[in-house]
Amino acid sequence: MATAYLDHNATTPPYKSVIELVARVMREGGNPSAVYGVGRQARGRVETARSQVAKLANARARDVTFFGSATEAHATLIAQFASALFLRPDSEHDAVLNSRPGIPIPLKSSGVVCIESLNNLLYSNSGPILVAIMAANNETGIIPDIETISQLIISAKVNNPKIHFHIDAVQAAGKFPIDFKAWGCDSLALSSHKMGGPQGVGALVTRPGFDLQPIIRGGGQERRRRAGTENVAGIAGFGLACELTEDMDHLIVLREHLERGLNAINPKSIIVGQDERRLPNTTCVINPGMSSEILLMKFDLAGVALSSGSACSSGRVGGSHVLQAMGINADFARSSLRFSLGRETTKAEVDLALDAYRDICS
């Protein structure tokens, strides 16, 4: 049976050369903290990867710290701001939302951060503030105006230097250029397996001089920012994936085809954020009167892998928290589907999904 994998925002297949590299490094062995030959070779692998990640993010290699996942990278950063006011939109990933209670930055109905509200929040509070914003939303693909937000935060810092600006670039990296320096942020989190690298590796980029405190303590690995023997093969694979990544603009044509098809088959369907700046691979569609859960089951039977929102929250009954944060009503939020294409997605796969949608809707 033909199948289609349209769930790349959940996890991506690694590049072939990444798999080869992971295999080679696994066989090499060696603990990067050991001082002899094979240990030094392993250390070299880790440091090469650090430079590759730094280059992708436009940051310095020494400011890149590796973790076991992006979730852990977020957790480490956020733990350091336990007493700060925590501002973040309600549409952030669970890894940020559930880390500690915070105050929502309102979103416009288009899904982008409301700049005026952010401005008010920043200027009406003194003392330490942690602002966390996604560079691209995992469910809708909507990209906020990072440049404007960044300008706003930089100006606010003149009055209150205790503002820390954290960017979740997990879904952005590998899909459009990320730029730590230009974005003027203080920290930025990345995930390997969302961009063609292996699972089990994340990274945090921090501004020069930032004293990142570990939540996992022990040996002196990662400049004492994260203890534990490094996942050398995984880190090496992540580094290579950063080097191989290219923008995904070619997917726009395929996605247009998908979205036109969805609207043609079901005229009531609504593409979320259609006119907003979005990731080129992501389509979030509301299917009024239908249930995400049943739709997913039917797509799955037809061999099409999709999700309703973030993979972590599959099976959640309340409907997408991202759509609700945009002010979309709960019934609509319970009817959404997320299609996320990958660099190797074919027209045949998209057509298979459209055929399935036609069968479901008829």
Partner 1 sequence: MIYFDNQATTQLAPEVWEVMAPLYQAQFGNPSASDTRRGRAASKLVNISRIQLASAVGTEPRNLIFTSGATEANNLAIKGAMALQVKKNRPRVLTFSTEHKCVTASVQACEEFGAKAEILPVQRDGLINISELEKVMDHRVGMISAMAVHNEIGVIQNLSRIGEIAERNGALFHCDMAQALGKIPVNLESLPIALASFSAHKAYGPMGIGALYVRRRPKAHLQPLIHGGGQERGLRSGSLPLPLIAGFGKAAELAADYLEDDLTRIWKLRDRVLEVVSRLPSVHLNGHEEQRVPGNLNLRFEGMTQAQLRDGFRQFEFSRGSSCSAEDLEPSFVLSAMGLSHQQAASSIRLSIGRYTTELDVEMLCAAMENLCL
Residues known to be catalytic: 312
Closest CA to 54 of 43, 44, 65: 65
Sign of CA dihedral 157, 158, 161, 162: negative
Position among 177, 219, 288, 327 found at the interface with partner 1 (CB under 8 A): 219
Residue pair 333/324 in contact (Cβ under 8 Å)? The answer is: yes
Closest CA to 187 of 126, 130, 149: 130
Is residue 72 a contact residue for partner 1 (CB under 8 A)?
yes
Is residue 139 a contact residue for partner 1 (CB under 8 A)?
no
Name residues contacting partner 1, limited to 245-274 (CB under 8 A).
Answer: none
The size of the interface with partner 1 (CB under 8 A), counted in residues, is 75
**How far apart, in Å, are the Cα atoms of 324 and each of 26, 67, 106, 239?**
44, 31, 12, 36
Kindly state the smallest distance separating residue 340's Cβ from partner 1, in Å: 11
Is residue 305 a contact residue for partner 1 (CB under 8 A)?
yes
Question: CB-based contacts of 187: which residues, under 8 Å, 6+ apart?
Answer: 77, 164, 165, 166, 167, 204, 205, 206, 207, 210
Position among 49, 54, 64, 70 found at the interface with partner 1 (CB under 8 A): 70
**In whole angstroms, what is the distance from residue 243 CA to residue 216 CA?**
28
Name residues contacting partner 1, limited to 333-362 (CB under 8 A).
Answer: none
Residue pair 337/308 in contact (Cβ under 8 Å)? The answer is: yes
Q: By CB under 8 A, which span of 64-72, 131-139, 140-148, 204-212 interacts with partner 1?
A: 64-72
Kindly state the smallest distance separating residue 306's Cβ from partner 1, in Å: 7
CA dihedral 307, 338, 324, 121 (to 10 degrees): 110
Name residues contacting partner 1, limited to 27-56 (CB under 8 A).
Answer: 27, 29-31, 33-39
Name residues contacting partner 1, limited to 81-120 (CB under 8 A).
Answer: 93-96, 98-100
Is residue 2 a contact residue for partner 1 (CB under 8 A)?
no
Name residues contacting partner 1, limited to 182-201 (CB under 8 A).
Answer: 191, 193, 198-201
Kindly state the smallest distance separating residue 40's Cβ from partner 1, in Å: 10
User: What is the chain's Cα-based Rg?
Assistant: 21
Kindly state the smallest distance separating residue 153's Cβ from partner 1, in Å: 24
If you ran DSSP here, which 8-state letter would residue 313 be given? G
18 vs 118, beta carbon nearer partner 1: 18
CA dihedral 53, 41, 73, 207 (to 10 degrees): -50
Is residue 130 a contact residue for partner 1 (CB under 8 A)?
no
Kindly state the smallest distance separating residue 170's Cβ from partner 1, in Å: 10
Kindly state the smallest distance separating residue 3's Cβ from partner 1, in Å: 8
Residue pair 166/77 in contact (Cβ under 8 Å)? The answer is: yes
Position among 221, 269, 283, 335 found at the interface with partner 1 (CB under 8 A): 221
